Amino acid sequence: FFFMAGCGLHCLAFIGVILFVLAGSFPWYYERGEINLIQTRRLNVAFQFFYEVAWDKCSADYCDLNMDFEYWEFSSSTTMTRLVFGLSWSFTILGGIYAVLAMFKGEKYGTCALTSAILTTLGICCFFFISPAIRSDSSYCNAGPCDSFAGSNSFAGQSVSWGPTFGFYFAVAAVCWMVILYLLECCCYSSRKKSKQHTRGKQSETVPIINHSNEKIVYSTPVYPSTAPPAQEVHVPVVEYEAPPPYVQKPSYTPSYQ
């Protein structure tokens, strides 16, 4: 039973690894703008630590979906923003590495699962500083991502929205999953501990009896008498030693005809 439970928990750890792969691959933050004039046009930009992807679409039939993917170049104008993205991504990757270790750690994979959850939580907490980072890198910004972590705004037929996206939510799901995995491992460990104690208790109740004929150890349950008879004093009579009478040699026989 415990072997099957352990295999099941290792499979659950594999699902956690998949969540970490998705969290490290998908964008963590997005900005969306929508213009409603003659036609509706939507522009979306999503960011990850090492790339950004943009796509736009309009409501007219002749508009096609345009998508542009490019690696996010490092520059001095986005130093703080990239620092926040880098810390969040690094902690998430470390959490994913511990999730991989949890698959092959044996009975102590709960520790790896908890460590993975803690590291990823640190990455998520770091990402909440993305708004101050954007405000620090922007020369002029009084609304939008530099003002709040998530939100929306509308003015003059235009609307904008911003906030976390798929990668961020995959990281949150990975943390919850690893915490659940840790709790399940704690329950299994407690059950294994009780089972071992029960087995030791049964073994301590048996007494080895050696059979000298074939030198094999045979275990049997000891029988303890319910009531033992009281001890009684036994008097042994003292017998005095008497020496035998002295030995007298009889005269030898001599026939009379000699």
Model confidence over 209-251: pLDDT tens digits? 445 555 555 555 555 555 555 656 656 566 666 666 665 555 5
Is 50 exceeded by the pLDDT of residue 4?
no
Give the C-alpha separation, 36 to 49, whole Å. 31
Q: What percent of the chain has pLDDT over 70?
A: 64
Rounded mean pLDDT, 155-161: 81
pLDDT tens column, 81-99 = 999 999 999 999 999 999 9
Q: Is 33 helix (H, G, I), strand (E, B) or coil?
A: strand
Measured in degrees and rounded to the nearest 5, phi and psi for residue 148 equal: -150, 160
pLDDT at 21: 95
Strand order in the sheet with 40-47: 66-71, 51-58, 40-47, 29-36, 158-164, 151-155
For residue 108, what pLDDT is reported?
A: 67
* pLDDT tens readout for residues 194-208: 555 545 555 555 545
Separation CA 89–CA 25 (nearest Å):
9
Are 148 and 135 in contact by the 8 Å Cβ rule? The answer is: no
What is the pLDDT, as a whole number, of residue 213? 53
